[in-house]
């Protein structure tokens, strides 16, 4: 027992000494631009957060600015702490990449008037805060073309997260793509009520496959549905980022994000002192969203038809949601020769004809 | 060969010395890890402290974490004192938050003090009732409360998600699932820059101390914890005490739920707990189920969490490494309890050797 | 004679307390050496040193002429020492054979048939009569004890330590055990026999070592020894062994039990239609082999059994099925000293004050507990009953068995109850304290209070009780007048045999 006492006292005094010697000063605050990223998930090797982190690395590489990030931040008041910490570290541009961060970014935005806040997928802005997002439904439509050509059973499975407009819009766009090339095919939807839960999502995909689906698409943050397809030897469409190595035999393509150009131009504006908060919803013509290159798993002829629609969309000659669209319940929306407004698309709460699935409305 | 035997009680100063050494041990091990990642461990550790207290904002955030941790731990304490393993605080917090949010959203027109009191009562009541469910089944059918309370957590989480994506979805959020923000009337006022929860915490610690140590009810809880047979033998209404205790335990969790929604996050979502319901279990345990130690351990944990959070940004340490650091310290802290209660003997000879004199 | 084991100057301290202070002890080949002493005399500590559980602070252990250390129980077994504990360490759901191989150095394959044959032979050689393939939960207590003996023999023990082996046995079973001990002895085994029953020690042992308060008092050859002379050595002074039976002439019935059934949680019957009466100022002794329904009887009256039918009339008020709280609320003052002292009567982890409070707090006014009052009462008990404790704030689990019993009994009697139910009140007490307890009970009897006395020492029951009810397997074998029966008679009744004489109403 005495030995223990002596050792502990020794270690304690050593530590006190070391602490006293170390400098307590915080990092020097520079006047240069420093960019902070707040992520809701872990960076990992695929998915939504990964795609943003690619953008962050691009910034470092292209503009030589310093960046920092924090992963796995809850959509709660925790965000305020992260912002404070980042500002303490000298950040003057902060990207928050989840919808739920908005309230807390807004809460503290006026406390840091010199810091620019950019909120991905948000809805509220301020004098030093904007919102930005991408028209993911455009590449989703293109991925629908690929899936529609691929299916033999004319049943395509779609593993979806939650019954919200963003997801519903994606399913409808995808279905429109499928039906463009294959009017017989239907899209079967299963809700997982998770964003990130590989086990549940895989289960859902397997259930769809058991139900005779031979292509799996997804609105999830993991590659689990694609892995289920891989295991059963059928084809899959990914999401968020290229995941070919997760399912080499199944993966055909994926609607993905490319934040590089947007992030670069915004930070350049900040450096130049010309940044103003501008809320944007950018599409394929801005390069923010795109369809990943097709792999060998994609069906013959897909590349050509994707190319055709892609150039039409980029040129503004084609809108995914245009003309008269028949809803699941038989009613219609839209007028011949006109596209749905952004407002209508943002509040989409119905499935179109050809989707098998239910939206539990309240 | 190592033999383990139970120790006689150590004097308190030695116990604390062992605890301190074990934390230092964890820090030293982590230093190697941090050095390998290219960080100066001393800087990282001191940043954990400055990250918790360095500015008033950080201090506020640390206290805002300590308040719910400590109150939840008090709730867990009353149940644990009775050896009722309530690990459902997470769910009790969420259900309390649900009730508070109900009033905040549906009665937003009421005057602020009235609305806040309604929210607090509603939160405590529902949190308490949520904890009564496993207590009832335990008393009536001798179900396992550990599993039962744990499972109820998941139900509570799914319930909140249902509300968020369904009936309580804010129509003004462009289709995004989010429960509306609270009005000012439904927001806890601040005192000294921090929401008034800190006053409530002080009051609750004092009350809990008196109840547990001076009242008949506290005495009954302690006796039931030691032996239900003895309690019955002594004429206690065991079931009644179990039910009331669990109601109180859950009500404290529910109150935390109200304070988290109203005082900190300003809305309801599953992330308002931030895992407090589970962390508070460890707080209770390390406080040796003693009321007066709860705020102390609660503060230590708030510093640990807040500090680990700060160094992620300050040093760009990945989330997982910060998690390992927290886990390491926790592991050592819990491990030290083993060395306080047991001693190891190194037995040199493997077989019985006869040594001739 | 050859010495197999010699202990020289063994010292074992716990903190500042000496459990063993310079104790010397030796054991010869083929000898039964009894270790005699009151509770807390240091018998268990000394044997735990031999079993490798404790390391002595001083002194030496010599086996077959060589000095050894016994660092762990495993080493002790390897050295041929086998301890048969009071509480058996057997797996109930396993067969005898499976219990034998559990914990023995693992072998990949087990030849059950061969092993079974070996065990049967071993069992027959010493008259153990154990079938290696029967399941433990089918065996009686005495048989389980023989399984324990078989187990240590199978592991190669030449030295057997029997810790209070007769405590759980009927007189007939005890005689049987003694036969086994004698056959082990004649086969060259050495036996250490721990007990505080003087008659048995005189009957079975070759030599007797008496310990008192951690010190070695004497080692005697068993020749012309009388219980009285041994008692003197055990307690240090001559103690009057005689127990008075006080005569009272109360006539009123205090408690009347009619056709009482108690069911266990699995719905089997623990008590099968018990009927008896207890008068004021009367002691009803209850005898029976452990587990015959004594516990259920006490708990049924005290309100602690749930599944129960029949009538329990306390002064013609039926309290059958009422909870302890209900009984208190009816204004009935009843004390119960349960067999399980730390599991029911007291809270092991609490101090004396809180344990006194346990029975007092309900009667205190207001919502707060009054610990001052309880502390006064605790100090009173310490003084009155000579309770040996560092302070009133010591946890009762830290006290010795005898002192624990004094706290419990003292508290219950101080409540001035009309009915006292006591299960084995003198168990673990030294002779002086036991007599003190008997005196206290007699005092209560004079005051007109009724007493149910569950006993195990038949001699004590015969002396103190006004009538004795013998239970066997949940049924009353008979209620007899102690003046008309002998301890052997009681033994027969405990085995379920009706007696023709001595029956009282």
Model pLDDT for residues A139-184, shown as the tens digit of each residue: 999 999 999 999 999 999 999 998 888 999 999 999 999 999 999 9
Q: Are residues C291 and C402 in the same domain?
A: no
Which residue in the set C78, C357, C362 is minimally distant from B235, CB to CB? C362
Helices and strands (H, E) in chain A, number of each type: 11, 16
Least confident of B35-39, B144-148, C289-293: C289-293
Cα–Cα distance measured from residue C259 to residue C273, given in angstroms and rounded to the nearest whole number: 4
Does the pLDDT of residue A3 top 70, yes or no?
no
Q: Which residues 6+ apart lie within 8 Å of B343 measured at CB?
A: B4, B5, B6, B7
Nearest to C451 by CA among C215, C225, C246: C246
Structure-token pair, residue B101: 């949010």
Is the CB of A15 less than 8 angstroms away from the CB of B24?
yes
- 3 state SS of C33: strand
Which is more confident, C89 or A284?
A284
pLDDT at A305: 96
Q: How is chain B split into domains, by residue range?
A: 60-305
Residues 261-280 in B contacting A (C-alpha not used; CB under 8 Å): 264-267, 269, 271-272, 274
pLDDT at A23: 42
Does domain B60-305 fall into CATH 1.10.3470?
A: yes
Helices and strands (H, E) in chain B, number of each type: 13, 4
Q: DSSP letters along C286-336, please?
A: EE-STTSSHHHHHHHHHT--SSEEEEEEETTEE-TT--HHHHHHTT--EEE
pLDDT at C200: 85
**Eight-state DSSP code of residue B157:** H
pLDDT at C107: 62
Which is more confident, C201 or A252?
A252
pLDDT at A27: 43
State the residue range of the domain holding C360.
Answer: 347-414
- Say if C81 falls within a structural domain: yes
pLDDT at C2: 80
Q: Which residues 6+ apart lie within 8 Å of B33 measured at CB?
A: B321, B324
Pick among A8, A101, A163, A194 to test the B interface (most B CBs inside 10 A): A8
Is the CB of A19 less than 8 angstroms away from the CB of B42?
yes
Q: Band of the pLDDT at B35, cuts 50, 70, 90?
A: very high
Q: Are residues C365 and C390 in the same domain?
A: yes
Q: Rounded mean pLDDT of chain B?
A: 91
Which is more confident, B91 or C502?
B91
Element (H, E) at B208: helix B197-214
Q: Band of the pLDDT at A20, cuts 50, 70, 90?
A: very low
Q: In degrees rounded to 5, what are phi and psi of residue A51? A: -65, -40
This prediction has a pTM of: 0.78
Q: Are residues C258 and C223 in the same domain?
A: no
Is the CB of C361 less than 8 angstroms away from the CB of B214?
no
Q: Rounded mean pLDDT of chain A?
A: 90
Please provide the distance, in angstroms rounded to a whole number, between the alpha carbons at the two ends of chain B.
24
Strand order in C32-36's β-sheet?
A: C81-84, C159-163, C190-195, C32-36, C207-212, C215-221
Is the CB of C68 less than 8 angstroms away from the CB of B349?
no
From C201, C235, C269, the end of a domain falls on C235
Q: Are residues C301 and C424 in the same domain?
A: yes
pLDDT at A196: 87
Structure-token pair, residue B213: 């140590």
Q: Cα distance from C371 to chain B (closest Cα, Å)?
A: 9
Question: What are the residue ranges of helices labelled H in A182-299?
Answer: 198-210, 224-232, 260-272
Residue of B nearest to A349 (CA): B175
Q: Are residues C76 and C112 in the same domain?
A: yes
Confirm if A194 and A342 have CB atoms less than 8 A apart. Answer: no
Q: Are residues C265 and C321 in the same domain?
A: yes
> What domains lie within chain A, and their CATH numbers?
34-134+259-286 (3.40.50.2300), 137-254+292-356 (3.40.50.2300)
Is the CB of C364 less than 8 angstroms away from the CB of B234?
no
* B18 interface with A at CB cutoff 8 Å: yes
Q: Cα distance from C332 to chain B (closest Cα, Å)?
A: 12
pLDDT at C197: 74
Residues 67-96 in B contacting A (C-alpha not used; CB under 8 Å): none
Residues 308-327 in C contacting B (C-alpha not used; CB under 8 Å): 323-325, 327
Residues 50-69 in B contacting A (C-alpha not used; CB under 8 Å): 50-51, 54-55, 57-58, 61, 64
Place of tokens 């929860």: B197
- Say if C243 falls within a structural domain: no
Share of chain A above pLDDT 70, in %: 91
Is the CB of B313 less than 8 angstroms away from the CB of A166?
no
Residue of B nearest to A10 (CA): B21
- 3 state SS of C442: helix
Give the residue-averaged pLDDT of A248-267: 96
Structure-token pair, residue A144: 């629908």
Total beta-carbon pairs less than 8 A apart between chain A and chain B: 126
Which residue in the set B223, B352, B357 is minimally distant from C347, CB to CB? B223
Point out which residues pair with C63 in neighbouring strands: C5, C66
Confirm if A80 and B65 have CB atoms less than 8 A apart. Answer: no
pLDDT at C171: 79
Cα–Cα distance measured from residue C206 to residue B45, given in angstroms and rounded to the nearest whole number: 71
Q: Are residues C406 and C424 in the same domain?
A: no
Pick among B25, B169, B319 to test the A interface (most A CBs inside 10 A): B319
Nearest to B35 by CA among B321, B301, B319, B331: B321
Is the CB of B234 less than 8 angstroms away from the CB of C362?
yes
Pick among A6, A20, A81, A194 to test the B interface (most B CBs inside 10 A): A81
Q: Band of the pLDDT at A12, cuts 50, 70, 90?
A: low
pLDDT at B174: 65
Residues 297-316 in B contacting A (C-alpha not used; CB under 8 Å): 306, 309-310, 312-314, 316
Q: Are residues C139 and C222 in the same domain?
A: yes
Domain count, chain C: 3
Q: Cα distance from C71 to chain B (closest Cα, Å)?
A: 7
Q: Which residues of A touch B178 (CB under 8 A)?
A: 99-100
Q: Which residues of B touch A37 (CB under 8 A)?
A: none
Q: Are residues C441 and C408 in the same domain?
A: no
Q: Cα distance from C369 to chain B (closest Cα, Å)?
A: 5
Q: Which residues of A touch B167 (CB under 8 A)?
A: 362
From C414, C434, C459, the end of a domain falls on C414
* C105 interface with B at CB cutoff 8 Å: no
Residue of B nearest to C337 (CA): B233
Which is more confident, B127 or C87?
B127
Q: Are residues C129 and C219 in the same domain?
A: yes
Does the pLDDT of residue A5 top 70, yes or no?
no
Q: Are residues C10 and C48 in the same domain?
A: yes
CA C140 to chain centre: 17
pLDDT at B321: 87
Instruction: Please write the tens of the pLDDT for every residue from A348-357.
Output: 989 999 999 9
From C414, C442, C473, the end of a domain falls on C414
Does the pLDDT of residue B167 top 80, yes or no?
yes
pLDDT at C490: 84
* Rg over CA atoms, chain C: 24
Which is more confident, B101 or C491?
B101
Q: Are residues C395 and C266 in the same domain?
A: no
- In order along chain C (505 residues), what is the average pLDDT of each group of 10 residues? 86 79 92 83 86 89 89 88 84 84 67 85 87 84 88 90 83 89 92 84 91 88 81 65 77 93 85 93 89 90 93 92 91 90 91 94 92 94 88 88 86 90 82 82 91 87 92 90 85 77 72
Chains touching chain B through at least 3 C-beta pairs below 8 angstroms are: A, C
pLDDT at C470: 92
CATH number reported for the structural domain that contains residue C443 in this entry: 3.40.50.300
Upper half-sphere CA count for residue C156 (Cβ side, 13 Å): 9
């Amino acid at each position: 027992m005495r030995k223990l006492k002596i050792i502990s006292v020794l270690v304690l005094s050593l530590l006190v000494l070391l602490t006293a010697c170390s400098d307590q000063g915080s990092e020097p605050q520079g006047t240069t631009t420093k960019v902070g990223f707040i992520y809701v998930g872990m960076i990992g090797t695929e998915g939504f957060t990964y795609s943003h982190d690619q953008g962050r690395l691009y910034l470092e590489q292209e503009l030589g600015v310093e960046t920092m990030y924090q992963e796995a931040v809850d959509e709660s008041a925790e965000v305020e702490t992260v912002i404070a910490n980042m500002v303490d570290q000298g950040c003057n541009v902060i990207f928050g990449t989840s919808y739920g961060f908005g309230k807390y970014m807004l809460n503290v935005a006026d406390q840091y008037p010199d810091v620019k806040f950019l909120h991905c997928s948000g809805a509220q802005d301020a004098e030093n805060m904007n919102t930005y997002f991408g028209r993911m439904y455009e590449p989703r439509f293109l991925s629908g073309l690929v899936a529609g050509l691929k299916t033999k059973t004319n049943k395509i499975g779609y593993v979806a997260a939650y019954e919200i407009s963003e997801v519903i819009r994606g399913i409808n766009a995808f279905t429109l793509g499928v039906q463009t090339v294959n009017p017989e095919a239907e899209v079967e939807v299963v809700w997982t009520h998770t964003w990130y839960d590989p086990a549940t999502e895989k289960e859902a995909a397997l259930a769809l496959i058991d139900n005779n689906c031979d292509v799996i698409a997804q609105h999830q943050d993991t590659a689990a549905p694609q892995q289920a397809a891989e295991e059963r030897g059928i084809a899959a469409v990914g999401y968020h980022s290229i995941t070919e190595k997760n399912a080499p035999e199944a993966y055909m393509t994926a609607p993905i994000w490319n934040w590089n150009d947007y992030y670069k131009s915004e930070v350049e504006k900040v450096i130049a002192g010309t940044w103003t908060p501008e809320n944007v919803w950018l599409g394929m013509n801005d390069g923010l969203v795109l369809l990943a290159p097709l792999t060998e798993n994609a069906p013959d002829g897909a590349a050509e038809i994707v190319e055709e629609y892609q150039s039409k969309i980029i040129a503004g000659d084609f809108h995914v949601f245009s003309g008269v669209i028949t809803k699941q319940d038989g009613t219609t929306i839209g007028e011949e020769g006109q596209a749905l407004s952004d407002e209508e698309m943002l509040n989409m709460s119905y499935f179109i004809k050809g989707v098998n699935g239910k939206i539990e409305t309240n | 060969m190592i033999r383990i035997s139970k120790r006689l009680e150590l004097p308190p100063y030695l116990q604390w010395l062992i605890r301190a050494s074990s934390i230092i041990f964890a820090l030293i091990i982590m230093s190697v890890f941090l050095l390998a990642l290219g960080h100066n461990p001393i800087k990282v550790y001191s940043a954990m402290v400055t990250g918790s207290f360095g500015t008033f904002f950080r201090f506020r955030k640390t206290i805002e974490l300590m308040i719910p941790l400590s109150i939840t731990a008090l709730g867990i304490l009353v149940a644990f004192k009775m050896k009722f393993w309530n690990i459902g605080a997470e769910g009790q917090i969420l259900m309390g938050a649900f009730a508070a949010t109900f009033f905040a959203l549906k009665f937003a027109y009421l005057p602020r003090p009235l609305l806040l009191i309604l929210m607090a009562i509603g939160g405590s009541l529902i949190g308490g009732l949520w904890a009564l469910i496993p207590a009832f089944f335990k008393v009536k059918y001798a179900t396992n409360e550990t599993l039962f309370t744990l499972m109820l957590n998941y139900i509570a989480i799914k319930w909140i998600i249902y509300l968020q994506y369904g009936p309580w979805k804010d129509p003004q959020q462009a289709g995004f699932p989010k429960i509306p923000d609270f009005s000012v009337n439904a927001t806890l006022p601040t005192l000294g820059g921090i929401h008034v929860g800190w006053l409530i915490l002080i009051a609750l610690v004092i009350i809990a101390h008196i109840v547990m140590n001076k009242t008949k009810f506290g005495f009954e809880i302690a006796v039931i914890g030691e032996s239900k047979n003895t309690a019955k033998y002594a004429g206690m209404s065991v079931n009644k005490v179990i039910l009331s205790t669990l109601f109180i335990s859950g009500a404290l969790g529910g109150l935390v739920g109200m304070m988290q929604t109203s005082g900190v996050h300003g809305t309801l979502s599953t992330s308002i707990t931030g895992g407090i319901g589970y962390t508070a279990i460890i707080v209770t345990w390390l406080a040796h189920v003693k009321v007066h130690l709860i705020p102390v351990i609660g503060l230590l944990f708030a510093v640990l969490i807040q500090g680990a959070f700060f160094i992620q940004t300050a040093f760009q340490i990945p989330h997982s490494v910060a998690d390992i650091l927290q886990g390491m310290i926790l592991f050592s802290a819990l491990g030290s309890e083993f060395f306080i209660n047991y001693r190891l003997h190194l037995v040199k000879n493997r077989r019985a050797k006869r040594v001739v004199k | 004679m050859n010495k197999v084991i010699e202990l020289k100057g063994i010292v074992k301290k716990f903190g500042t307390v000496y459990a063993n202070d310079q104790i010397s002890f030796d054991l010869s080949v083929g000898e039964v050496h009894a270790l005699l002493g009151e509770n807390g005399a240091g018998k268990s500590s000394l044997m735990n040193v031999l079993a490798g559980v404790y390391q002595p602070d001083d002194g030496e252990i010599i086996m077959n002429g060589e000095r050894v250390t016994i660092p762990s129980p495993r080493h002790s077994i390897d050295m041929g020492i086998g301890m048969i504990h009071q509480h058996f360490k057997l797996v109930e759901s396993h067969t005898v054979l499976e219990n034998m191989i559990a914990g023995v150095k693992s072998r990949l394959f087990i030849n059950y048939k061969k092993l079974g044959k070996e065990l049967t032979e071993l069992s027959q050689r010493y008259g153990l009569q154990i079938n290696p393939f029967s399941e433990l939960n089918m065996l009686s207590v005495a048989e389980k004890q023989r399984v324990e003996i078989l187990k240590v023999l199978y592991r190669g023990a030449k030295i057997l330590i029997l810790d209070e082996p007769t405590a759980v046995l009927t007189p007939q079973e005890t005689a049987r055990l003694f036969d086994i001990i004698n056959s082990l002895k004649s086969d060259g085994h050495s036996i250490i026999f721990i007990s505080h029953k003087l008659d048995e020690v005189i009957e079975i042992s070759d030599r007797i070592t008496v310990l008192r308060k951690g010190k070695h008092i004497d080692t005697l050859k068993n020749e012309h020894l009388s219980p009285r002379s041994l008692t003197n050595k055990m307690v240090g002074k001559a103690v009057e062994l005689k127990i008075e039976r006080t005569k009272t002439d109360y006539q009123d019935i205090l408690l009347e039990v009619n056709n009482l059934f108690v069911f266990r949680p699995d719905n089997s019957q623990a008590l099968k239609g018990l009927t008896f009466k207890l008068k004021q100022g009367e002691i009803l002794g209850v005898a029976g082999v452990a587990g015959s329904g004594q516990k259920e009887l006490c708990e049924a009256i005290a309100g602690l059994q749930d599944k129960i039918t029949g009538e329990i009339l306390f002064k013609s008020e039926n309290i059958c099925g009422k909870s302890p709280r209900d009984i208190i609320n009816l204004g009935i003052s009843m004390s119960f000293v349960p067999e399980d002292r730390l599991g029911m009567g007291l809270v092991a982890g609490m101090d004396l004050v809180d344990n006194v409070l346990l029975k007092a707090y309900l009667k205190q006014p207001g919502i707060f507990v009054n610990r001052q009052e309880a502390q006064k009462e605790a100090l009173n008990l310490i003084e009155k009953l000579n309770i040996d404790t560092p302070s009133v704030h010591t946890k009762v689990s830290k006290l010795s068995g005898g002192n624990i019993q004094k706290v419990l009994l003292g508290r219950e009697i101080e409540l001035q109850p009309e009915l006292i139910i006591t299960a084995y009140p003198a168990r673990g007490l030294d002779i002086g304290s036991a007599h003190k307890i008997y005196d206290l009970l007699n005092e209560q009897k004079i005051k007109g209070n009724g007493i149910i006395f569950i006993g195990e020492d038949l001699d004590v029951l015969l002396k103190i009780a006004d009538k004795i009810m013998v239970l066997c397997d949940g049924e009353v074998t008979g209620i007899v007048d102690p003046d008309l029966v002998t301890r052997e008679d009681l033994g027969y009744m405990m085995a379920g045999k009706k007696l023709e004489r001595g029956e009282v109403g």
